[in-house]
Structure 1
Amino acid sequence: MSIVKINAITVPSDSGDELAKRFAARAGAVDDQDGFEGFELLQPTDERTTWLVVTRWRDEESFQAWVSSPAFSHGHRSESERSGGAPQAHVGVSSELWSYVPAGGSAGNRV
């Protein structure tokens, strides 16, 4: 059964565009990981400042293998760092990782 991992990232109200830009710069970085099934970055449409990074994995082992991989470390470095430069400041002020398993729904609701 698939698992869903949600990284809830709270950012200052004026930093959402920067968060989206940074995710766009690494688009596809996780696509080839064994067990990876999908990704979405969800932007709040109200006064909230928490963005959701929703990923779906074949199983917990696939997710943990990715988190422990060099690809994870490389993908979470800034463009500047990947080019040998200084790291960028973090955009988020806090982050929580939530874990879920599907408990209902339809095939059209997949990540």
Structure 2
Amino acid sequence: MSIVKINAITVPRDRFDEFAHRFATRAGKVSSAEGFEGFQLLRPNDERETCLVITQWASEDAFNAWVRSPDFAAGHAQHRESGPVGTNSEIWSFDVLETEVPSAG
């Protein structure tokens, strides 16, 4: 069963562009991680200040292997070097019970 990990990050609105830029320039190796199934970066288009980093994984073990990997550390180097953009962060975890995609044609 697939799992979804959501990192809900509180980002002040005046730092939204910097937040997006950091993701655009990260190491970007998550897509080649074993068990990786998808990624989305969401920024609110209303008054909220919670940005969402959504990843989908084949299993909890695949996610945990990614978090322990050197590529994960490299992807988070900006956070360690320049400090966080967000003021708070919370990880949410879900099992995928159902997925629907548009039918072809």
TM-score above 0.5, yes or no: yes
8 Å Cα contact 2:3-2:93 kept in structure 1:
yes
Percent sequence identity is 54
Tell me which of 86, 89, 96 is aligned to 1:92: 86
Higher helix fraction: Structure 1 or Structure 2? 2
**Whole-Å Cα distance in 1 between the matches of residues 7 and 66 of structure 2?**
15
Aligned pairs for 1:47-86 (under 5 A) are: 47-78=47-78
The residue number in structure 1 matching 2:26 is: 26
**Whole-Å Cα distance in 1 between the matches of residues 20 and 101 of structure 2?**
27
Runs of at least 4 residues of structure 1 off by over 6 A? Answer: none
The residue number in structure 1 matching 2:97 is: 103
8 Å Cα contact 2:12-2:49 kept in structure 1:
yes
The reply to whether residue 36 of structure 1 matches residue 30 of structure 2 is no
Q: TM-score, length-normalised on structure 1? A: 0.85
Unaligned ranges ≥5, structure 2: none
Partner amino acid for 1:4?
A: V
Partner amino acid for 1:90?
A: P
Partner amino acid for 1:102?
A: V
Partner amino acid for 2:5?
A: K
Q: TM-score, length-normalised on structure 2? A: 0.89
**Whole-Å Cα distance in 2 between the matches of residues 53 and 34 of structure 1?**
19
Shift of 1:27: 6.3
**Whole-Å Cα distance in 2 between the matches of residues 48 and 27 of structure 1?**
28
